Structures are given as C-alpha cells and as structure tokens.
Amino acid sequence: MTTAPLRPRTGDAHARPATDVELEPVAVRFLHQPPSATIDPDTELGWMRRLWPLVRSHRRPLVTGIVTGLLAIGLQVLVPALGRSAIDSIDGGDRGRLGTLVVVLVFAGIGRFVFGFIHRYAMFEVAWGVETDLRALLYDHLTTLTFSYYDRTQSGQVISRANSDIRSMQVLLAFGPIVGMSVLSFFLAFGFMLTIHVPLTLVALSMLPGVYVFGQRMRKTVFPLTWVSQARMAELATIVDENVNGTRVVKSFAAEERQIGLLAKSADHIQWANVEAIRARARYNPIIEALPRLGMALVLLYGGWLAIEGDVSIGTLFAFNAYVIMLQAPFRMFGFLLLQAQRAAASAGRVYEVLDERPDIVDSPDALVLSEVKGRIEFDDVHFGYAKERPDGDLERAAVLRGFDLVVEPGETVAIVGRTGSGKSTVARLLARFYEVDGGSVCIDGHDVRNVTLVSLRHQIGLVFDEPFLFSTTIADNIAYAKPDAGMDEIMAAAEAAQAAGFIADLEHGYETVVGERGYTLSGGQRQRIAFARTLLENPPILVLDDATSAIDVKVEEAIHRALEHLLEGRTTLLIAHRLSTIALADRVVLLEEGRVVAQGTHSELMAKEPRYVAILAEADPAITDAGGL
C-alpha cells in the first residue's frame, strides 16, 4: 500500500468576503431540511407566545386541525338538539319528522367521527413536528455554543432538556388543543342551554366556580414541585451519564456501591418532589372532578321536577343531560391539563435557558473566508485565562497565557515544550479559536482569526488531541469523518500513513468494524492512530499535534514519525510534545513557562544552554541527562 501524497494548498494565501465564497469542508448532502422558524427571542413573553412562531410554521396541519375541530365540535353540540327534537317528535307522534331526524343524526355522528379523527391526527402532527423542530433547534444551537459553555455545564443537564423537557412540551401541545376544543364545546353547550331554560342552566353551572378555586390552589402547589422534579431529573441524568462514560474509573476503584448510593439519593429527591405533586393532585383532583357531577345531580333533581310539572319536555331534559356531560368534559381533564401545563412551563423555561444562551465566539459581520493558506502563524502578546465559576456564581479568569509571543513561518515545524499547566494546549485552542483571547492577537497569514469565518479557519487547521474521541460507528466512517465522500483508497492511505492499517487488517471486519462508544473497544494507541488518520485525510495546511502519540508504543511511534517526515514537508506544524522522539521532528523548539516563551532554538541548543529545558525533559525520561539528549 502506498500512501497518497498529502500536501498543503499551494498559492498565495488570501481571504475573500464570506458572501463570495461558500466553504463547506464536510461535504454532506442534507436529507432533512432545518426548521423554517425558531422561538421568539423576546424573553419577556410567556413561554407559549415565544413558541408560537414555531407552531405557526406548521400551518397546513394547524389550520386543518382547527377547522376540522370546529366542525366536530359543532356537530357534537348539534346532536343533543337533534335528539331533543326526535324525542319530542315521538311524544307528538310525528313519524315523518322522526325519520328525517334519525337520518340527520346518523350523518351527524359519522361527520363527528371523521372530523374528530382528522382533528386529532392534525394536532398530533403539529405537536410532533414542533417537538422535532425544537430538538433540531436545540442541537443546532448547541453546536454554536463555545467551549466555555460546556466547561460549566453538565452533559446530563443538556441531555435532559433535549429529551424529557421537550417531551413535556410536546404532550401539552398534543392534548392541549383537545381540551381547548372541549372548552369551546362548553361555551356552545352553555349557549344552547340558555336558549332552552335559563334557571336550569344556572343550576348546571352552580358548581363550576368551586372547580376554578380548587384548580388555582392545585396550580400554586404543583408548579414549584414540577420545576424541582424536572431539575432533579437532569441531575439524575448527569449521574447516569458520568457513570456510563466513567465506568472504568468506577470499577477500578471498586466504587460501585458508592455510585449506587449517589444515584439512589438523587432518585429519592425526585421521588419526594413527585410524591408531593401527586399528594396535591390527590387532594384537589377528586374535588375538581366531583363538583361537575354534583351539578349533574342537581340538574336531574330540578329538571325532573320541571318535567313532572310539565314546564319542560322529556326531550329538553334529555338534551340538558347531554349538554351537562359536555360541560363536565373540560373539568374532567382540567386536573391533567393543569399539571401538564405547569410541567410544560417549567420545561420550556429550561429549554429556553439553553436557546437564550449566546455564544461567546461568532463570526463578525464582515468576516472573510480564509483560503489558500500558506501557513504563517503569529501570536502577538496573547493574554488568556479560563473562566471559572466562583461559589457566589460569578465568573473569574484564571490566567494561563501572559504575553505569549510566537511566530511560525510557512512550512516550519515547531515543538512547544513546557510543564503541565504552562499553556501548551491552550495555544492550540486559541489558534482554532475555540476560545477568544483576552488580549493580543492570533493571526494566520496576516489575518486575525477574529476577522475570518470559523468554518474556513477550522478547515485550514488539523487538530489531533491527546485524548482522541471516536464515534460509535465503523472505523472507515471514523477516518472519513472530515471527508464523508472519501473513497476507500483514500481512507486506507490515511490509515497507512498513521500506521493504523496493520491492526485494522487484523480485525475480523477490518474497516467495517464498529467501535464501541468513544472507541473504547480499541486500545488507547489504536484510538490515537485512527484519530491521526482522520486528520491526515482532511489534508490541512496547518497541523497541530497535541501529544498525539502519547499512548502509542515506541516502535509504532517511530513508524509514524518516519511517515510524518515526508507528510510534514511544506506543512506548518505545531507539536505539543513531551517525548524526545516527537521533538526530533521539529525544526525549532519553544520552551513555555508561566504562559510566555522563555527560550527557543534547536533541541541541541536548548540542551546546551537552557537548564529549565533539560529539567523538563528529564522529568519525562531521566535517562536523557545521561545520554546527552538525542
């Protein structure tokens, strides 16, 4: 197998207006269109008003559901009136009119079924569509948020909001319109009842003020408990996520019982909040549902007396009983709807909290597309510190780089050496603009990275981290992640260059082997080689290796370095290194201490005149001082 040549782009580097060039480094074809709307950005609005633009974007099923719902409700209210006329026709012996009314009742019943079915189908389509859109919007927004957000946010919190919180909103959107239509039927039935007999109507409604009072009491109790329950479910999701991803650490310390206790404690907190909410529902729901039934008993008592006295007909009493049942329907669902509305409101607040988070790093309005990069890198008096949250909730900066200056010429390979915490990895993160500098500037070919688009910037930089992340898919797909349309020859060539082809060939399914979550079915060295091949396949003009061979054994590392000696030609490379074998690849070595460059030169020069450099290398390999370096 011969490795396909990987060369940086040639020609003079330049940047163009973002409107002139559309750069899409990951060549994929969209199978699904993104949502056509988003939530209202006005945080002062209620949660449903903020969601309305997204609901409105599903106009077809929304309008269909509303129209068919109105028709279904109209027919539902019409049926008791037709039944009243039919019963009165029986009492009057009018057979011809009775037959006509029966036919009309049959068609009204069929229409009620058809329109009711279409109404439910359409409204559920809206609810599921909004849920899908919300998940897409949330994920899309999460991809725009910067690393500083994830530094302070637990993954379980994000997962919980993307799943259970959005599902709570979807349930209300699905069942809310059904309850809303029953409320409309309430008013229509109330109107018909007033036209029939006003005193009997007032008797039927006499219990409803009590339903409102007890409903409000339940709402005030259930809402805060619902918020607590949703928040604690997110805490539980975090614990589960950490235990799944950190299972090797848990087992290595035999800490299973401790983690189970932690999970049980979190589950107990959720149980307490849910039990208290259920207790409130158990206290108020039976009253809310019983009061309308008491109203029905009063209607039968008073209406029956009126029928005996001849003030109302039997048909009228039948119609009233049917309408009273319609009056009860909203209140039978009132408790469920109220609880779900409180849960949805709490969930919406948590989802909007993420969507309202503004990314720290965005493209400037006049950002340029960086193309045909030559590879000159310049750090000019860079100051930077990571934001840390204090106990009082405020953020403070922990300084890492303090006046960092470095110039790397096109095609040059520079190794950055320093003690842990000196800022070596931070240099790579600032180059790719994962974080924003606090002071100074980072430039590529004379262009400040803050003045070019993020997509074009990161397209020009290939990063290989010391802790590689692999997706739970095939090895071929992991290598081709940066270039999904790559052919198998290209994938195999990249694997060969990263010295991964040998162990891949030994696997039962070769390149079609599916690695476990995070690639844990492979060894650390194998994961690093796959990640290395992934970056080489992208063929970037600037390459950053952040301890990229730290988990690879010496023989394999030597083979990788032999391949790199050819691959790094004409490519600007930053090596964040501890091993002498990696430093040997560099044209120049930069010593970093306390966030600034304190010495630079070739390895031999630093070994001869810089004791701090010798001390750092000796910590990694004590034999270095005895061997005299390389």
- Asked whether residue 45 carries a pLDDT value surpassing 60, the answer given is yes
What is 410-441+453-627's CATH number, 1.10.3720.10, 1.10.246.90, 3.40.50.300, 3.20.20.70?
3.40.50.300
Separation between Cα atoms, residue 578 and residue 624, nearest integer Å: 12
DSSP string, 438-501: SEEEEEETTEEGGGB-HHHHHHSEEEE-SS----SSBHHHHHGGG-TT--HHHHHHHHHHTT-H
Kindly indicate the confidence band of residue 63, based on its pLDDT and cuts at 50, 70 and 90: very high
- The percent of residues above 70 in pLDDT, for the chain, comes to 83
Q: What is the mean pLDDT of residues 459-476?
A: 84
Residue with tokens 């974080």: 435
pLDDT band at 256 (very low <50, low <70, confident <90, very high): confident
What CATH number matches the domain at 47-355, 1.20.1560.10, 1.10.150.530, 1.20.120.80, 3.30.70.3460?
A: 1.20.1560.10
- Domain residue limits, the chain: 47-355, 410-441+453-627
Note the pLDDT tens digit of each residue in 547-574.
766 555 666 666 666 666 666 677 888 9
Q: Could you read off the pLDDT of 295-337 as tens digits, one per residue?
A: 778 877 887 888 777 777 777 777 777 777 777 667 666 666 7
Whole-angstrom Cα distance, residue 348 to residue 166? Answer: 7
Question: CA–CA separation, 89 vs 95, rounded Å?
Answer: 7
pLDDT at 539 over 90: no
With beta carbons less than 8 A apart as the criterion, state whether 284 and 215 touch.
Answer: yes
pLDDT band at 12; cut points 50, 70, 90: very low
- Beta pairing partners, 452: 368
Among 51-65, 142-156, 506-520, the range of highest mean pLDDT: 51-65
Tens digits of residue pLDDT in 394-420: 666 778 899 999 999 998 989 999 888
* % helix, strand, coil for the chain, step of 5: 60, 10, 25
